[in-house]
Structure 1
Amino acid sequence: MKWLSEDPRGPKQPYYIYPVVDEPVFLAAVCNWRPGQEHGREHGMAIVTNDARGGMVDVHDRRPVALPVELAREWIDPLTTSERSAAILCAGLPESIFRWHPVKCEVGNSRYELPDAVEPVIN
């Protein structure tokens, strides 16, 4: 879900962003978790982003780095070098794998959990 607003102080328009195909999309992420360790704040994670391109720039200035399955497997391999990791991020999938549409403003409230949260609205 992303929000778009022409006025940074005004109400924002939430958008539902989803993959074109009905199959998993792998997003590059980094974390500090290690197998066998207790979970805590220091084990947080973050989705890796890049500049938005194409039509997605109209919704947000950043986009998650989506990877094809082969590169996702390589990305999570602890033996992958830093240099190779940088190359993998440059080979991410294009914005064209996603579609997006505006949804009702109530979706901007984190407590909104009704099934219509992803239904398109016409502005």
Structure 2
Amino acid sequence: MKKKAILQKLKEFEKEERYLDKNMSLSALSYSLNTNNTYLSELINKDFHKNFSTYINELRVCYIIKKLEQNPKYRNYKISTLADESGFISHSAFSIIFKKITGMPPSNYIKNLN
């Protein structure tokens, strides 16, 4: 499959929010795009300037930030619920990655929104 076609399918993957699947992995995504792990990994590294994990984690954190900003009820959810909603397996992984991306823990981010 050509690079352009895979990039288009990645846009669809993002639009359909399939990154919220807790079981999403490089292998699963490669399979769904009819390509191999190595090629997809290299494409993400070169075109997005990040590895697969960072790519997925940033999509997930951006998703939950959008929810927090647009829907105030999300601000009352437990961190574990936000983690679950955004596709993270654990609230601790979610909190670490959220802070890495935003510069603050989820609880502080929510306080700043209120």
> Higher helix fraction: Structure 1 or Structure 2?
2
> Higher strand fraction: Structure 1 or Structure 2?
1
Q: Which structure would you say has the larger RCO, counting Cα contacts within 8 Å and 6 or more residues apart? A: 1
Whether TM-score is above 0.5 comes out as no
Structure number with greater Rg is 1
TM-score (norm 1): 0.24
TM-score (norm 2): 0.26
